[in-house]
Amino acid sequence: MDTPIFEKKNVLVTGGAGFIGSHLCERLLKDSKVICIDDFSNSNPQNITHLLQYPDFEFINCDVAQPIDLDKFEELNKFKVKFQGIQEIYHLACPTSPKDFERFKMKSLTANSSAMLNTLDLAVQYHAKYVFASSSVVYGNASETKWSFKETDQGVVDHLSSRACYDEGKRFAETCVETYRQVHGVDAKIARIFTTYGPRMRLFQGLLIPDFVVSAIEGKDLVIYGDENMSMSLCYISDMITGLTKLMASDPEVKIINLGDEKIIKLSEVAQMIIQMTNSNSKITFENPLVFLTTKGAPDLVYVKDVLGWMPLTRLEDGLEKTIEYVVANKEALLFNHKN
């Protein structure tokens, strides 16, 4: 006997093999059927290997910047997409590597433009709810006088800078979401994501936390791309995933929320914590900032606490401990994937 068509939702996740995407797919599998789309241009197949065993999970190797026709994928027949459609779409696909930023400029541009239109068109086609993973970069750089940002704040971004394909790209992408709300009535939402960390972050991409851990384990210098005042907020991955799923479940009038930790901490303090937690003799050194690394502030969480009842719950010490455990357990595989 066939499973009733609406026993479980069909949920589509673009960038599902990435750091945040793979954790999201894992969480969604608890009560949904998950279609993960990724082209592995900036993600790791190992992130989803453990999910392939589940009948409610299907991976499709596809670039969402190209037109998407789900009917042509026979592997989705088991999800009865032709009859049931898609109920929810999370669009996370976008390169986030500071080290490889130059190489992925066109990918960033298309992820924030043609991929937006393609995924939003799917939301129109299937009458699906839609969540877009935007970024805190839309607020512009933080300063001594402005370091906390509300959803109503309007940032200033140089739309012709060397990193505008990402910064201005995210702003244009948000415009796409709002336009589809206005024109097509799509229940589309924007999550402005602040710095997130945890297991499955890629090594040596300038993402700092996993690099710190590897360097500390190997007794090498922990490199901060900036000076001793370099600071940011840090949200643990499980809290971020809870925020994204709560946003998807929210009422249509909830359109834009901040997701991140409202506390700012110096990266030198984080590095020192990792050195102590790994019993390392490593030193902390400073180098010139990478193009993709900006002076990020912290989110004002008043609105999201009110409408979603969400706030980050994981202590930094606990999150770092889990991240260290993951890197230690997977260091050889992570280093192998980095070299290849």
What integer pLDDT is reported at residue 103 of this predicted model?
A: 84
Chain position carrying tokens 């643990």: 236
Residues 257 and 288: beta-carbon distance below 8 Å: no
Strands 32-38 and 57-61: parallel
- What lies within 8 Å, CB to CB, of 164 at 6+ separation is 157, 158
Determine the 3-state secondary structure of 43 from DSSP. coil
Distances (CA, A) of 245 to 7, 31, 258: 19, 12, 13
What integer pLDDT is reported at residue 297 of this predicted model?
A: 87
What integer pLDDT is reported at residue 33 of this predicted model?
A: 97
Instruction: Please name each of the domains of the chain with its CATH number.
Output: 9-200+234-261+295-314 (3.40.50.720)
What integer pLDDT is reported at residue 158 of this predicted model?
A: 82
Q: Which helix (H) or strand (E) holds 157?
A: none
DSSP state of 214: H
- pLDDT means per 10 residues in the chain (340 residues)? 65 97 98 96 92 97 94 93 94 82 88 96 97 94 84 88 89 97 98 95 76 93 87 95 98 98 94 96 88 77 98 97 92 62
What integer pLDDT is reported at residue 217 of this predicted model?
A: 93
| 223 vs 334: CA distance, rounded Å | 19
Catalytic option among 90, 130, 166, 236? 166
Determine the 3-state secondary structure of 131 from DSSP. strand
This prediction's pTM: 0.93
What integer pLDDT is reported at residue 2 of this predicted model?
A: 46
Strands (E), 136-255: 148-149, 188-193, 196-197, 222-225, 231-232, 235-236
**Residue 275 CB: number of other CB atoms within 10 A?**
19
Is residue 236 annotated as part of the catalytic site, yes or no?
Answer: no
What integer pLDDT is reported at residue 4 of this predicted model?
A: 44
What integer pLDDT is reported at residue 205 of this predicted model?
A: 67
Helix axes 267-277, 209-218, angle to 10 degrees: 40
What counts of helices (H) and strands (E) characterise the chain?
11, 15
